[in-house]
């Protein structure tokens, strides 16, 4: 049975970007495919500690898992949730892959460049994080890894490491994940999703951006989120058109509207074709986002910690079994076992 896998770090409350770029597409795919695929959803808590954590990491982790359930993830015997640090094989395989990866390819990772930029010194975890991510994927022989566009380069790295490892030992130890083009196709999109910063739409919406109005957080009061949309940066061209290069602010609003309402982007674009008043578009997007948050937050409030811990018990038992078996294969070919 093939495996679909993804993870979201739990450094803080998540943004609308995480929700629309990763949570929602993954929940849709999981619900669609869990009859014939394994679905693994985990919190990469070891990835969380490469940067500052807001509040208590363990509590954040439980909250992030509740987000998945609130977003509509349907649990069944093929769907597993787990915490990365509760499956030690991830760190073990990471070390083995460290000895397969090169400094050159790891240094080329855009996320590493962005996260280390301008810093006098940065921790080794920031550099090593894509290799741990490769371990997260390869341990479970995952074929599809639904992610936002910012993470595609890491999928390529995981693929390269699997291919190199298998080639070096002339054995198919690791399943090579699908190419990014096939990942995008699997997600049913023509391109990866990248929700932009509301004030500076050249950049992606990120939890680490300081300006509060630049991002919508999943625990924002719906009215507050609506205000943030109303103050989003647009442009002076006076036409509602989807053109990320020329009009990233307006295009971002159109994309948000489509994803939040579930209406295909093409249909949203036809509705707004010929409109020149950005205020009208903003009002509609603001109300769609507020409504979405209201429903989401209501569902979130109904999920108890006990429910999550119960699911984790089963998920972590499963994850350790699968991951340890794959780790042993890798250890054997390296002569460690």
**Min separation Cβ 193 and ligand TYM, Å:** 5
* Residue closest to 104 by CA, chosen among 164, 56, 43, 64: 164
Residues 248, 201: contact at Cβ < 8 Å? yes
* Stretch in the footprint of ligand TYM (CB under 6 A) among 191-199, 260-268, 303-311, 317-325: 191-199
| Per CB under 6 A, 21 contacts ligand TYM | yes
| Per CB under 6 A, 220 contacts ligand TYM | no
* Residue closest to 226 by CA, chosen among 179, 290, 162, 273: 290
| Per CB under 6 A, 254 contacts ligand TYM | no
**Min separation Cβ 238 and ligand TYM, Å:** 26
Q: CB within 8 A of 175, min separation 6: which ones? A: 138, 141, 142, 143, 162
Strands 2-7 and 79-83: unpaired
| Per CB under 6 A, 46 contacts ligand TYM | no
Complex with ligand TYM: residue 22 or 258, whichever CB lies closer: 22
Tally helices (H) and strands (E) across the chain: 15, 4
* Catalytic residue chosen out of the listed positions 119, 185, 207, 284: 207
| Per CB under 6 A, 137 contacts ligand TYM | yes
Rounded to the nearest 5°, which phi and psi values hold at 38?
-80, 140
91-130 footprint of ligand TYM as x/- string (CB under 6 A): ----------------------------------------
Distance CA 163, CA 300 (A): 41
Q: Interface residues with ligand TYM (CB under 6 A)?
A: 5-9, 17-18, 21-22, 44, 47, 133, 136-137, 145, 147-148, 150-151, 193-195, 204-205
Point out the residues that are catalytic: 115, 204, 207
């Amino acid at each position: 049975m093939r495996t679909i896998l993804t993870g979201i770090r739990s450094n803080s409350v998540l943004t609308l970007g995480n929700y629309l770029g990763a949570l929602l597409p993954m929940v849709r795919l999981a619900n669609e495919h869990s009859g014939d695929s394994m679905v693994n959803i985990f919190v990469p808590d070891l990835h969380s500690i490469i940067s500052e954590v807001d509040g208590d990491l363990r509590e954040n982790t439980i909250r992030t898992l509740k987000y998945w359930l609130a977003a509509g993830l349907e649990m069944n015997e093929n769907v597993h949730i787990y915490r990365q640090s509760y499956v030690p094989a991830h760190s073990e395989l990471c070390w083995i892959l460290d000895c397969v990866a090169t400094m050159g390819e790891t240094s080329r990772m855009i996320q590493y460049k962005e996260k280390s930029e301008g810093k006098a010194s940065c921790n080794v975890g920031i550099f090593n994080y894509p290799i741990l991510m490769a371990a997260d994927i390869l341990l479970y022989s995952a074929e599809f890894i639904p992610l936002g566009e910012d993470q595609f380069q890491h999928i390529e790295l995981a693929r390269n490491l699997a291919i190199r490892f298998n080639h070096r030992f002339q054995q198919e130890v690791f399943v090579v994940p699908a190419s990014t083009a096939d990942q995008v196709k699997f997600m049913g999109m023509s391109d990866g999703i990248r929700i932009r910063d509301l004030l500076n739409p050249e950049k992606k919406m990120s939890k680490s951006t300081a300006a509060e109005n630049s991002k919508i957080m999943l625990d924002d009061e719906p009215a507050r989120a609506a205000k943030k949309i109303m103050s989003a940066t647009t442009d002076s061209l006076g036409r509602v058109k989807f053109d990320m290069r020329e009009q990233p602010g307006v295009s971002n609003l159109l994309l948000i509207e489509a994803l939040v309402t579930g209406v295909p982007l093409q249909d949203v674009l036809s509705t707004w074709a010929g409109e020149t008043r950005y205020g009208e578009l903003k009002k509609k997007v603001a109300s769609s986002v507020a409504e979405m948050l209201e429903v989401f937050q209501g569902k979130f409030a109904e999920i108890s910690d006990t429910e999550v811990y119960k699911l984790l018990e089963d998920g972590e038992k499963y994850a350790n079994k699968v991951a340890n078996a794959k780790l042993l294969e890798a250890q054997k070919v390296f002569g460690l076992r």
